[in-house]
Amino acid sequence: MATATVRPAAAPPAPHSGPPPALREFGYRLHRYRRTWRGTVVISVANPLLFLAAIGAGLGKLVDRGGSGYLHGGSYVAFFAPGLLAAMAMQTGYIEAAGPVFQAARPQGSYRAAAATSMEPTDILGGHLLFMAFRLALSATAFTAVVAAFGITGPLRALLLVPAATLTGMAFCAPVAAWSVTVTRQARLNGVFRFVLMPLYMFSGTFFSTDQLPGPLQGVVACTPLHQGIALCRSIVAGTATAGGSAMHTGYLAALVLMGWLAARRTFTRRLNG
């Protein structure tokens, strides 16, 4: 009589070793950034250095001589520096989340290659957002180093400026990434930068106090993320930050990051799985 051969059960597949998928996307972005980091760091240092030197030696002295009551006894350069920091975080956040996401989501873009692997759209999104946060923190660190070198604020307050500016930039990154992955024409990205970001840059309190705006416009500006970021950074530099005020500004910006993340999860999944 023939006897049946009993084969041992197949061993379960070995668990995947290596970093989480989102960190693999971050590593890819970081690898690409190694080719260009010198130029971006130079810009992050040179821009605030030139701006603050020009304001401190020129316009700032004229404003200080006039004794504006909107400065509350401080210097104009101390008023201007945190506003410029938040505005640059906004611009950096938009630049990092608009063009790169738009290009990566195109048929020959890196998102398509990553989506063809075991990575999920949410992994791709998470890794790219993590890289955006890294870029913002790096730029904010370079900027605050210049601010501290000018004696505008102390080292401890300068350290607090880095997460405040990073959060301000991420409040733009996450919603913009959720939108730009759906964009099919480059001109739309340019239009938003020109007609949305630039007015925010000019009228959200970067260069002058929003108390000088007409009453109804003050209320509109107060609801913008850049104004909230400027108020948070400026209160740190001026030493007027309170627990309630900081919590309000931080909560507002964090809510935008969360809503942008939730929206981006849907748009990334729809675009990359479509």
Integer angstrom CA distances of residue 152 from 50, 64, 69, 101, 236:
15, 15, 19, 36, 11
Counting other chains too, the contacts that 113-121 makes at CB distance below 8 Å and 24 or more residues apart are: 114/25, 114/28, 115/272, 115/273, 118/16, 118/21, 119/21, 119/24, 119/25, 120/21, 120/269, 121/265, 121/268, 121/269, 121/271, 121/272, 121/273
pLDDT of the chain, 274 residues: tens digit per residue: 444 444 444 444 444 556 789 999 999 999 999 988 887 777 777 888 888 888 876 777 778 776 776 776 788 899 999 999 999 999 999 999 999 999 999 999 999 999 999 999 999 999 999 999 999 999 999 999 999 998 999 999 999 999 999 999 999 999 999 999 999 999 999 999 999 999 999 999 999 899 899 988 999 999 999 999 999 999 999 999 999 999 999 999 999 999 999 999 999 999 999 7
Asked if the structure places residue 3 within a domain, the reply is no
Asked if the structure places residue 210 within a domain, the reply is yes
What is d(CA 50, CA 146) in angstroms, rounded to the nearest whole number?
10
User: What is the model's pLDDT at position 10?
Assistant: 46
Helix (H) or strand (E) holding 232: helix 225-238
Asked if the structure places residue 176 within a domain, the reply is yes
What is d(CA 228, CA 256) in angstroms, rounded to the nearest whole number?
11
Q: Is 99 helix (H, G, I), strand (E, B) or coil?
A: helix
Nearest to 133 by CA among 99, 107, 110, 162: 162
CB 148 within 8 Å of CB 196? no
Asked if the structure places residue 14 within a domain, the reply is no
User: What is the model's pLDDT at position 69?
Assistant: 67
Asked if the structure places residue 4 within a domain, the reply is no
Instruction: Write the DSSP assignment of 154-219 as a string of letters.
Output: -HHHHHHHHHHHHHHHHHHHHHHHHHHTT---HHHHHHHIIIIIHHHHHHSSSSS-GGGS-HHHHH
What is d(CA 253, CA 222) in angstroms, rounded to the nearest whole number?
13
Residue 83 domain boundaries: 21-29+41-64+71-273
Q: What is the 3-state secondary structure (H, E, C) of 116-159?
A: CCCCCHHHHHHHHHHHHHHHHHHHHHHHHHHHHHCCCCCHHHHH
Domain count, the chain: 1
Asked if the structure places residue 48 within a domain, the reply is yes
User: What is the model's pLDDT at position 11?
Assistant: 47
User: What is the model's pLDDT at position 48?
Assistant: 82
Nearest to 268 by CA among 95, 105, 156, 29: 105
Contacts of 35 (CB under 8 A, 6+ apart): none
Asked if the structure places residue 228 within a domain, the reply is yes
